[in-house]
Structure 1
Amino acid sequence: MDKKENKSIISIIILVVVVLGAIWYFKVGYLLRKPEMPEANIEIQTQMVDGGTINLRNVDYTEGQIKVGYEVKGFSLKEYNISCKLYNGGNLISTSGSTGGGLIELDEKHYYLIGDENINQINLPESVNLTVEIAVIPNDFRQKPITASFNVSLDKEVQ
């Protein structure tokens, strides 16, 4: 083999290594990164409850939806269910009572949950006094649910 063929072979090997490294990063390495909690958009409200902590971190109020983001530490989702209800001035405005918006597992017994409620059928004012009630419900029916309530005043965001 002459020098030109050697350079071509070395170039191909380097190209293959770079391409395989990029594929590994996007297929495997990217998945190994720890998920991150979104930045808070309100002043964080915290309640310590029965060996755990619940933090209300995010609230968005738009024309058709109210979305809340909250952090739960100290409770395993294998042992507890978590639900979220929304109230305006004491009147229930959520119908699902669930956290249907999403879940980010940050660590063992450490989660960020998103609760959202479509409010297209509800006529709410431009400003609401929202009460967010988060319930940590033990799978063991003999134990009582743990509840944390947070209050926040919101103005409707224009999209």
Structure 2
Amino acid sequence: MDKKEKKYVIAIVIVVAVVLGVIWYFRVGYLLKKPEMPEANIEIQTKMVDRGTINLRNAEYTEGHIKVGYEVNGFSLKEYNVSCKLYNDGNLISSSGSTDGGLIELDEQHYYFVGFENIDQVNLPDSINLTVEITGIPNESGQKPLTALFNVDLDKEM
């Protein structure tokens, strides 16, 4: 093998290594990154429940939806199902008792939930007094539900 062929082989090996590294990162590497909780967009409200805490961290009100973000710390989702209800001035907005959103597992017994409620069918004013009721419903009988109520005034974002 002459010098020119050696340079081509080395260049090909380097390109293959870089390509494989990029493929590994996008297929596996990003999964290894620890998930992060989004920054709060409201003043954080904290409630102590049994052996843990529930924090309301985010709230958003737009023309078509209400979205809340809350942190649950200190109890396992194997022991409790978490439900979220939304009220405006005491009137129920969410009909199901649980909102479609997302879940980020931050650590063992530490989670961030996103509650999302479509309100296209609900006639709400431009400013609402939102009450967020978060309940940990125990999977075993004999345990009591864990409930935290939060109030936040929201103006509709355009």
Q: Same fold (TM over 0.5)?
A: yes
The alignment status of 1:21 with 2:24, answered yes or no, reads: no
Question: For 1:101, what is the secondary structure of its paired residue?
Answer: strand
Q: Show structure 1 runs of 5+ residues with no match.
A: none
CA contact 1:99–1:113 (8 Å) conserved in 2: no
The alignment status of 1:41 with 2:41, answered yes or no, reads: yes
In the other structure, the counterpart of 2:97 is 97
Q: Deviations over 1:90-124 (max 9, x none)?
A: 11111121142111111110100011111111111
Alignment of 1:110-125 (within 5 A): 110-125=110-125
Q: Name the CA distance, whole Å, in 1 between partners of 2:39 and 2:77.
A: 23
In the other structure, the counterpart of 2:58 is 58
Q: Name the CA distance, whole Å, in 1 between partners of 2:129 and 2:22.
A: 49
Question: For 2:100, what is the secondary structure of its paired residue?
Answer: coil
Q: Show structure 2 runs of 5+ residues with no match.
A: none
Q: Deviations over 1:1-58 (max 9, x none)?
A: 1100011111111111111111111111111101111111000001111010100000
In the other structure, the counterpart of 2:107 is 107
The alignment status of 1:126 with 2:126, answered yes or no, reads: yes
In the other structure, the counterpart of 1:138 is 138
Percentage of identical aligned residues: 77
Find runs of 4+ consecutive structure 1 residues off by over 3 angstroms.
none
CA contact 1:82–1:134 (8 Å) conserved in 2: yes
For normalisation by structure 2, the TM-score amounts to 0.98
Amino acid at match of 1:113: F
The count of residues paired between Structure 1 and Structure 2 equals 158
Shift, 1:141, TM fit: 2.1
Shift, 1:77, TM fit: 0.7
CA contact 2:61–2:154 (8 Å) conserved in 1: yes
In the other structure, the counterpart of 2:80 is 80
Q: Name the CA distance, whole Å, in 2 between partners of 1:125 and 1:42.
A: 20
Shift, 1:134, TM fit: 0.3
- When the two chains are superposed, the root-mean-square deviation of aligned CA atoms in Å is 0.8
For normalisation by structure 1, the TM-score amounts to 0.97
